[in-house]
Amino acid sequence: MILADAFRRSEFGREDFTTNPSDIPVVAQFGAQNFKDFCESAMLLEKYVDGIDLNCGCPQKWAIKEEIGSYLMEHPQKVAEMVNAVKRNTNLCCSIKIRKCETEKGTIEMLKRAEAAGVDFITIHGRTRRQSNRQPVDLDTIKLVKDLASVPVIANGGIFTLDDAKKVYDITKVNGVMSARGLLRNPALFTGCESTPIECIERYVNLALKYGTPHFIFHHHLMYMFEGVMENSGMHVIIIFFACTLYSCLI
């Protein structure tokens, strides 16, 4: 998630975004408070991305304080205004990522207002912002949104294996599934691998060197990938330390 206010106002803020011609399709996700920040950020990126997504799901306290992320779940009209502004002023696909509301009525209202504004597809996480990641995902709510929606619906939440993805699809019949923590831990998740294959890690390192991935991102992804590979946590840390040291010398 890129912060739209900083992205719109300063070159420093725009340093958060990089891509390359082979990295397609690309959807840039923004956290935004208002249609001006969201729309102008989209216009700045129109030549470089295939779509823009509005984050209405981040449950972190700092995001809610900034009136972005899941704060927007209580303000569906504001979300509609942001989507509408992007659709009127760009040729980009515009999507939103939402959460289950505290009430079924609230979830449905968000869906209907977003559709009326011209949203192209919707991703829904099946927990409310107050629920922890340890609580089960509400697949019934995701199915309800899918059944009512006139646009494609993507399911999110609790997907850590290929079997998880199949279960979500079988129950909800969504158009697709999204995994965040699952794919960070195992980028080969959708191939059926239970943990990250060493070949996958090797490929990631080669791509990071080829495209100049920032060191902190390189380190962050390696930490996740090795989590399920190395049983010995001490050896896990040592390997990552040497990998990151070598990476620093090569870039």
Q: Is residue 204 part of a domain?
A: yes
User: Domain check: are 171 and 228 in the same one?
Assistant: no
Same domain, 85 and 204: no
High-pLDDT (> 70) share of the chain, %: 90
Mean pLDDT of the chain: 91
- HSE-up of 250 (CA within 13 Å, CB side)? 18
Say whether 39 is catalytic.
no
- Examine the domain organization and report whether 169 and 231 are in the same domain: no
Question: Per-residue pLDDT for 230 more than 80?
Answer: no
Same domain, 30 and 114: yes
Tally of helices (H runs) and strands (E runs) in the chain: 12, 7
The whole-number pLDDT of residue 238 equals 52
Q: Which domain holds residue 228?
A: 198-250
Apex 67 CA angle, 65 and 68, nearest 5: 110
Asked if residue 185 belongs to a domain, the reply is: no
**Catalytic choice (58, 94, 101, 200):** 58
User: Is the pTM higher than 0.85?
Assistant: yes
pLDDT single digits (tens) 152-201: 999 999 999 999 999 999 999 999 999 999 999 999 999 999 889 989 98
